[in-house]
Amino acid sequence: MGSNQDTEAIRASSLPASTGFRDRIPVLGLQEYWYPALRANRVGHKRPSVLKITGKSVVFFRDAAGEVVAIAQACPHRGAQMSHGVSHFKGTLTCPYHGWTFDGTGQCVAVLGEGPGSTIPGAKGTRARTFATRTLKGIVFVWMGDGVPAPIEEDVPPEMFGDDFLVMNGERTWHANWRPSLENFADAHVYYAHRNSIEMLTQPPPALMALAHSGPARPDVVRINDRAIAFDPNAATLLNYTDRAAEQQTQPGAAKPLDRREFQDTYPSLGGQKWPPTATRQYVSQVCGAVRSMFKPAPAMYPPASEWGMGMHLPSTIRVDYRRVMFTRFEVPIDENRTNNFYFIAVRKGSELNQLLWRAYFHLYYRWKTVSNFSGQDGHLAEITDYAAPERQSTTDRFLREWRRFVVDCARKSGPPDPTKA
């Protein structure tokens, strides 16, 4: 593992990765990591909640302090499902079969089927397996590894800590494995697959031009702290469509205003046909650009090529810096064929009125636009992708190749055994 300094970003090789990297990425996800599990308000004080995460069934209940804790589904006695248990006593969960009762640390503290004289509580081998948990901004995060938990700050976006950001969230389950669900960042699908999304239809002219004509090239990729990858911020590339400052032509090299003849490409191999077939998006874009120009450009949420800036982060997050909004899609593997997507939409907190307006905007429009409309298209593509099929990659798949290589090289392996799971 490398240094933990942002300044020591390592340039990744630009050579194509072999198909072997794809086969070495675990089907059920990376285990030695923290993942978002569920909203804390879904866990009551009497009945537990159960989820499958990275192929493991995890049961959530509340401990004596009222915090959400997690244990394995199988009771250590004879394997009955703890999700059918009840919290008869505050801070405990009782197995429905023989009444083995566990506290928030997994210790068996009573056996209701045997009475107060039972010799089971405290005996070797009677402890239930536990999973470390931490509740942040109302979301319960869980450590899925067998080793000692890594610092949660290494796996969870910094907006989830402290009080500088307002973080809103959403969830969607896709019927696809986590690998194709995640591997669609910054490739050629963006403008084509999302062309009819509200996000694309409302892009201002420079951004729309950049997307429509990004071409077959992609910049080099850098590794950051062996936990994230991003495009090289020093590369000479076309305008990034999330760069709100460039919308007003304030940066050197910003794309020039759209010209109808340039906006539509001609394909000789298709008999001179044009794509897009009409210039309608040009006119919509001009209107949207005029509206957006009334707002002052915002600074980036994070510096380019910083660990939590725009890019991909282990174990399974996509980050997009829209300058006023930091978008995170955290992929949580459920099993071989399903993935739960947690969306974290972070904005600078500001005044109480600012927060109220952002919440209204998110609930009335932005969540639909981003989670349902735009990201929903990604979900459909993941669900129709055969991940085991042979691949013939293009030059626009550079980020994909480097992500697979990065996961194989840098993902955490099993660490020191956690004594609480013994």
Please tell me the distance from the alpha carbon of residue 323 to that of residue 242, in angstroms, as a whole number. 7
Most confident of 1-15, 181-195, 287-301: 181-195
Closest to 231 measured CA to CA, from 192, 193, 186, 189:
186
Q: How high is the pLDDT of residue 256?
A: 52
Please tell me the distance from the alpha carbon of residue 84 to that of residue 95, in angstroms, as a whole number. 7
Residue 254: band (very low, low, confident or very high) from pLDDT cuts 50, 70, 90: very low
Residue 415: band (very low, low, confident or very high) from pLDDT cuts 50, 70, 90: low
Most confident of 234-243, 298-307, 347-356: 347-356
Residue 294: band (very low, low, confident or very high) from pLDDT cuts 50, 70, 90: confident
Q: Is residue 310 part of a domain?
A: yes
Q: How high is the pLDDT of residue 81?
A: 98
Q: Is residue 15 part of a domain?
A: no
CATH of the domain at 245: 3.90.380.10
Q: Is residue 416 part of a domain?
A: no
Q: Is residue 23 part of a domain?
A: no
Residues 110 and 239 in one domain: no
Q: Which domain-ending residue is among 118, 144, 170? A: 144
Q: Is residue 421 part of a domain?
A: no
Please tell me the distance from the alpha carbon of residue 134 to that of residue 142, in angstroms, as a whole number. 7
Q: Is residue 14 part of a domain?
A: no
Residues 57 and 202 in one domain: no
Q: Is residue 78 part of a domain?
A: yes
Indicate yes or no: pTM above 0.75.
yes
Cβ atoms of 71 and 59 within 8 Å: the answer is: yes
Phi, psi angle pair for 344, to nearest 5°: -120, 120
Residues 207 and 338 in one domain: yes
Residues 137 and 163 in one domain: no
Q: Taking the CB of residue 327, how many other CB atoms lie within 10 A of it? A: 21
20 vs 164, 305, 405, CA distance in Å?
A: 42, 27, 9
Q: How many domains does the chain have?
A: 2
Residues 273 and 347 in one domain: yes
Residues 97 and 171 in one domain: no
Please tell me the distance from the alpha carbon of residue 38 to that of residue 11, in angstroms, as a whole number. 36
Is residue 181 helix, strand or coil?
A: helix
Burial label for 182, CB within 10 Å (0-12, 13-18, 19+), is: buried
Is the preceding omega at residue 276 within 30 degrees of 0, hence cis?
yes
Find the range with the poorest average confidence among 279-288, 323-332, 351-360: 279-288
Q: Crossing angle, helix 205-212 and helix 280-292, to 10 degrees?
A: 140
Residues 132 and 170 in one domain: no
Closest to 82 measured CA to CA, from 64, 103, 66:
103
Domain with 185, as residue range(s), is 159-410
DSSP state for residue 370 in the 8-state scheme: I
Q: Which domain-ending residue is among 144, 179, 199? A: 144
CATH of the domain at 108: 2.102.10.10
Cβ atoms of 288 and 200 within 8 Å: the answer is: no
Residues 165 and 109 in one domain: no
Residues 185 and 96 in one domain: no
Please tell me the distance from the alpha carbon of residue 210 to that of residue 44, in angstroms, as a whole number. 49
Q: Which domain-ending residue is among 144, 173, 191? A: 144
Residues 127 and 167 in one domain: no
Q: Is residue 46 part of a domain?
A: yes
Residues 267 and 387 in one domain: yes
- Evaluate if residue 238 carries a pLDDT over 70: no
**Contacts with 302 (C-beta within 8 Å, 6 or more apart), sequence order:** 308, 309, 310, 321, 326
Residues 163 and 138 in one domain: no
